[in-house]
Amino acid sequence: MFVSSVLVTLILAGVQRLGLLESFELKVFDQMIQKRAELPPDPRLLIVGFTEEDIQELKQSSPSGEVLNQLLKKLETNQARVIALDFFRDIPVEPGHTKLLKHLQTSNKTIAICSATAPPPQGLEATSIGFADLPEDPDGVIRRALLFANPESKSPCQSQYSVAVLTALQYLGETANIQPQLSPTGDSLQLGKTVFHRLEQNSGGYFNADNGGFQILLNYRSLDNVAKQVSFVDLLNNKVDPALIKGKIILIGATAPSKQDIRNTPYSDGRQDNSGKMAGIVIHAQIVSEIISAVLDERPIFWYLPEWGEILWIGAWTLLGAAIASHIQHPLRLGLASGASIVVLLGSGFFIFTHSGWIPLAPPTIGLIAAAGSVVVYTAYRNKQQGNEIAAKIQEQEKTISLLQSLLREGGPTTYEDRDLVDSMPQSGKVLNNRYKVTQILGAGGFSYTYLAEDTLRPGAPKCVVKHLQPAKSDPRFLEVARRLFKTEAEILEILGTHNRIPQLLAYFEESQQFYLVQEFIAGHCLQDELHTGKRLEEAAVIKLLQDVLEVLVFVHGHHVIHRDIKPSNLMRREADSKIVLIDFGAVKQIQPQPEEENLTVAVGTLGYASPEQLMGQPRLNSDIHALGMIGIQALCGKNAKEIERDPQTTVPMWRNMGQCSDALAAILDRMTAYDFIRRYQSAQEVLEDLKKI
């Protein structure tokens, strides 16, 4: 599980560094921008837009120098704090171009623009000119803001500051006396207590982004309401309340679609119309608002995880995916758990985004799925290998059992005759294999005993269960064959013990020609304590009991192993979680002759529960299903399974008049306990599916 998650994490980190996931991350970024709550308009800003109506009213495709001059005078008369003019004036637009230039040269409130292809108006101070360039991502969407840049020597625009940052700095200087402090390395800008960090090439979902100059991620305020907007004509005709202008930041620019200064934004993704696009002046307003809101309102700035933090983030989710797949084998439940985890992952990413954190979501999502998938594939491969291994061991086991049975039939002295059973049974306090101290005898039957013991070589001397089996004969040939069977059985139990509801095999050993299995101690009580004669369980409790055991049988039968002795005393109710644990596997019991009292095990199976074919020494996988079905009937009827008779004509157990349940459950139990194994359920999974339909 851990190895799988580490490998997947490293692979995804490499894939991420190749930029293969950037487009997905940018799309997710756009969706989160759209889904998060919008902020109200910034009251410190006013956008004066040159609209389609202004073009019609003024009969000008671009405002003339005279119109702009009048506009600027009105704004300054109404005490605008700072004005950003987003119109290029490298080519005169008459009438009034000279007047406009003179106004710009003498005004200390207006900031003009230039670009890499358009020079600024002549005669202006460098502090009054800002570049208007907006960096686009490869898909044409504007997600970043360029605040500072080092212009090329041949560029007609030599300004190092964007029009938005000059506007914000002038406003902050006049209103709060805040001056910019750029770090010596140029990686951070401090304004008051707020520090803006330069966007790195691999910040957030970017890979090798063009981060020339000083860029930040554009933290959009809203789609279409970043600030109040008025038109040129309304302002010129004195239809704008002077209170909207006084002390405010005024941004003047074209908002008419015909001017073609309409740009793609994160709000454009998934929209067929142009409703998600923004005019260039509106985007500049977004940048200005972002800067002054961060400084004056403490609005969070976008932050990102460092590279090592991203790897840990991805690793945590891949580890979760691997853990889910390791603990949930059922396909439907695995799918639901994985889906829920992805929902939590995306929800966490969005929650962090609403708090201005941009963290990768594609790599952890893929990592969770890939890690879970790799564990499923590995588990399936391992189970197949284990199944093949167990199948080979079972074949060997069957041959060994046949050989032992033939040796038993040959006659000769048996353990009955040549051993003192009482002397051979360890008493309380005896230490087996120099390690396991017997504390209690849990059971004895025939030539097998079960002890509760303490593992004296482990810290705290934890409890364990020791099963002691005596071979039926003591001659060397019989012991050698029995030893081989015992070893095979232990190897099978070792594999089965990987399931969390089958006791884990801790050790096996031979001492004084007797065999011992050491298994995990299950704290709890056996099901026999719950199924008292005369006590009937409700249908829901019986269904839950059957499902619990069937879930284990799916695993056991998946390894081609037959338990052979499903009965209440071999089903433990675990104290920790009330789950049923299946105990006491063992074809190894056949290394001794079986007493024929009807209340004891016969041919490795118990009367009342063992199926007809098992009693004839030919158990099948669905023989366990028969035994479990009898337990279900016993739980409903409150009567011991061996006391339930079968109809002599149909061979169906006659129990329905003794227990109350739905026809659906009764039909399932009848099919589970069918006399003929061909008419019986063929797999535990099939029974589980039918039970879920009730």
Active-site residue numbers? Answer: 565
What is the identity of the amino acid at 85? L
315 backbone dihedrals φ, ψ, rounded to 5°: -60, -40
Radius of gyration of the chain (CA): 41
How many contiguous H segments (helices) and E segments (strands) does the chain have? 19, 22
What is the identity of the amino acid at 497? G
Tokens of 482: 């029995």
For residue 303, the Cα-to-chain-centroid distance in whole angstroms is: 23
Sequence-distant (≥ 6) Cβ neighbours of residue 592 within 8 angstroms: 415, 446, 447, 448, 469, 470, 471, 472
Sequence-distant (≥ 6) Cβ neighbours of residue 519 within 8 angstroms: 464, 465, 466, 467, 493, 497, 503, 504, 505, 506, 583
* Residue 358, H or E segment: none
Q: What are the start-end ranges of the H helices in 146-214?
A: 163-176
On the 0-12 / 13-18 / 19+ scale of CB atoms within 10 A, 165 is: buried
Nearest to 624 by CA among 571, 578, 575: 571
Residue 167 · residue 157 · CB < 8 Å: no
User: Between 307-327 and 2-17, two packed helices, what is the crossing angle to 10 degrees?
Assistant: 140
Nearest to 508 by CA among 491, 525, 531, 484: 491
The partner residues of 574 in beta bridges, in order of sequence, read 524
Sequence-distant (≥ 6) Cβ neighbours of residue 526 within 8 angstroms: 568, 569, 570, 571, 572, 573
Q: What are the start-end ranges of the H helices in 136-279?
A: 163-176, 232-236
Distance between CA atoms of residues 682 and 534, nearest Å: 31
Give the DSSP letter string of 582-631.
Answer: E----GGGGGSPPP--TTSBSSSSBTTTS-HHHHTT---HHHHHHHHHHH
Query: Which DSSP category does 460 fall into?
Result: T
Distance between CA atoms of residues 105 and 129, nearest Å: 11
For residue 197, the Cα-to-chain-centroid distance in whole angstroms is: 31
Nearest 5°: the CA angle 659, 660, 665 is: 100
- Give the sheet arrangement for strand 188-191, strand by strand: 180-182, 188-191, 194-197
Distance between CA atoms of residues 142 and 283, nearest Å: 9
Burial 90-115 (b: 16+ CB within 10 A, else e): eeebeebbebbbebbeebebbbbbbb
The partner residues of 465 in beta bridges, in order of sequence, read 452, 519
573 backbone dihedrals φ, ψ, rounded to 5°: -85, 105
